[in-house]
Amino acid sequence: MDSNNYLIGLSGKKLKIPKNWKNPSGKWHLGLKALYKQTISKSSEKLPEIDCIVWFNGEKWCVCIETYKKDLNNAKVLTNFCDENEYGILDFKGNEIVYCISVKNNGNLLEIFTRNFDSGSNVALITAAHFPNNPKQDGLAPGAQIISMKIWNPAINNSALLEHVHKALEKCIEMKVDIIIYSFSSFGGYL
């Protein structure tokens, strides 16, 4: 970081780091992430790549991926979802993507989790529906916390390897998830 609080992201963009971002070590982990918006036909639209900034504030890992914003003072800073249950919303010209993060390997691995609009997600949303003023509309588990994991990879034609399923199950175990709803459309080496 230079004397004016600027970092150069991996995209080449100058990122002015807000003075209130505490980083005692002065060490910043930088990355570049391609995001995809799923369309109705299970194809994906590639969105602009975003710079990712990860740092340790002396107590917890912090992440900012809203680096497309001109002023990072207005960008959301998150920590591990398992610790704080925080989420953010990326907004690319009206394309909103809800996300949460996980940081591992001393800041060297950033996992970004996004919501998917598929059958399994819809079933989970209906199940956890909660209407305080009209309990007759409640789902079976009103107000349940939902953790949605997408294993379809847009980089390999929206398919998923069995290893992706295993990785999702391991994450569920790590997060102590009580109930898992699967929604697959096919199986045969690839999902």
Same domain, 48 and 109: yes
Asked if the model's pLDDT at residue 186 lies above 50, the reply is no
Under the banding of pLDDT at 50, 70 and 90, the label for residue 64 is: very high
Nearest-angstrom CA–CA distance, 34 and 11: 11
Same domain, 47 and 97: yes
Looking at every residue in the chain, the average pLDDT score rounds to 83
Helix (H/G/I), strand (E/B), else coil: 22:
coil
The residue from 114, 132, 155 where one domain ends is: 114
> What mean pLDDT is predicted for residues 5-19?
94
Contact 162/151 with Cβ under 8 angstroms?
A: no
- Give the structural domain span for 76: 6-114
Same domain, 45 and 93: yes
Same domain, 151 and 68: no
Residue 183 lies in a domain: no
Residue 1 lies in a domain: no
Range scoring the smallest mean pLDDT among 27-36, 71-80, 114-123:
114-123
Same domain, 109 and 17: yes
Same domain, 99 and 11: yes
Same domain, 31 and 78: yes
CA-CA distances (angstroms) from residue 39 to 127, 160, 183? 24, 17, 17
Same domain, 96 and 125: no
Under the banding of pLDDT at 50, 70 and 90, the label for residue 91 is: confident
Same domain, 107 and 30: yes
Query: Could you give the percent of the chain with pLDDT greater than 90?
Result: 36
Residue 36 lies in a domain: yes
Same domain, 37 and 95: yes
Residue 14 lies in a domain: yes
* pLDDT 10s digits, 15-34: 999 999 999 999 999 999 98
Residue 63 lies in a domain: yes
pTM: 0.69
Specify the higher pLDDT residue, 26 or 41.
Answer: 26
Same domain, 102 and 157: no
Q: Which secondary-structure segment (H or E) carries 162? A: helix 162-174
Task: Quickly count helices (H) and strands (E) in the chain.
Answer: 3, 10
Residue 168 lies in a domain: yes
Asked if the model's pLDDT at residue 84 lies above 80, the reply is yes
Phi, psi (degrees; rounded to nearest 5) at 164: -70, -40
Same domain, 74 and 97: yes
Q: How many domains does the chain have?
A: 2
> What mean pLDDT is predicted for residues 130-155?
81
Residue 186 lies in a domain: no
